[in-house]
Amino acid sequence: MLRLFSKPILPSCFFLVFTLLICEDTLAQSKDIARQESYFVKLYSKLTSFKPADYDSIQFYAHEFETEFTNFIKNNPATLSYSFTRLNGNNSCYIRTSEDGNFRIYSWDTWTGGSMHVFREIYQWKANGKVFTKTPHYEEGDADAFCSKVFTVSIHSKPCYFAITNVIYSTKDAMQSIAAFSIEGNQLVDTVKVFKTKTQKLNKIDVDFDFFSVVDRPERPLELINYDHKRKIIYIPLVNDKGQVTKKNLLYQLKDRYFEFIGIETGMRK
């Protein structure tokens, strides 16, 4: 007698239902984050509506925004992959993410300073399938920085993240920096010494400069420190003894484990 066998359909149906449930949950999370983003856009607009005159109100809403936004990011791991287009697009927050999506820096101006701008930051990263957050420790009077760019370089087959940050001390005095980060286990490590000068190894390079020497440059935020992915060269602007940014750059090129100083050149290589 001929018997016909058919493949069981139960596992396929289960997989389909499971996939649909995940999609629905992801969609619900995105909608919830979108609603919260709208709230934070309004809250930050409320904050800026009081500048520069009503300092007490600015302080109140700056604290409100920092507390609520930080708690929201900490308690919602899905935010790491959410675009935050509205917050990121209207100069409320600078939200910069690595190419692999595993590292992100949120930063914003509290408007609680005068000519010195006081920024706040949140670091967020993924490791071993989990999402973590960290906020820097601030001392009274700290200006801190905002992050304008994050780029990734593979060093010994491991991603190393480089953050370009900016400090505004006054209308004239400013600083742009490049710092290296890595993810080790579940920890975000900010002490990775990947810059090699003639005399020492560093995890960060700072460039103090006179803002008025570059005020006519069109890009905002300023792009003084640059990276050439093709040649694996980091360009650090050379500043003269008056703090003015010159046309010359210090060049650091990736060689094995380090970005080694290779010289000073005018402009960038073509």
Q: What is the pTM of this model?
A: 0.89
Rg over alpha carbons for the chain, rounded to the nearest Å, is 23
Instruction: Look at residue 23 in the predicted model and tell me its pLDDT.
Output: 52
Instruction: Look at residue 53 in the predicted model and tell me its pLDDT.
Output: 84
Instruction: Look at residue 14 in the predicted model and tell me its pLDDT.
Output: 60
Instruction: Look at residue 143 in the predicted model and tell me its pLDDT.
Output: 82
Residues 200 and 102 in one domain: yes
Residues 130 and 81 in one domain: no
- In one-letter notation, the amino acid at residue 186 is N
Q: CA geometry: angle at 100 spanning 130 and 255, to 5°? A: 115
Instruction: Look at residue 54 in the predicted model and tell me its pLDDT.
Output: 93
**pLDDT-based confidence at 4, cuts 50/70/90?**
low
Residue 40: which domain range? 14-92
Residues 109 and 216 in one domain: yes
Report the number of distinct structural domains present in the chain: 2
- Give domain status of residue 235, yes or no: no
Instruction: Give yes or no for a contact between 88 and 94, defined as CB atoms under 8 angstroms apart.
Output: yes
**pLDDT-based confidence at 9, cuts 50/70/90?**
low
Instruction: Look at residue 249 in the predicted model and tell me its pLDDT.
Output: 98
Residues 122 and 54 in one domain: no
Average pLDDT along the chain: 91
Residues 49 and 124 in one domain: no
Q: Which of 71, 92, 113 is the last residue of a domain?
A: 92
Helix, strand, coil proportions of the chain in percent (round to 5)? 25, 40, 35
Average pLDDT over residues 72-80: 97
Distance (Å, whole) CA 89 – CA 85: 6
3-state DSSP assignment of residue 229: coil
**Mean pLDDT lowest among 24-33, 101-110, 131-140, 215-224:** 24-33
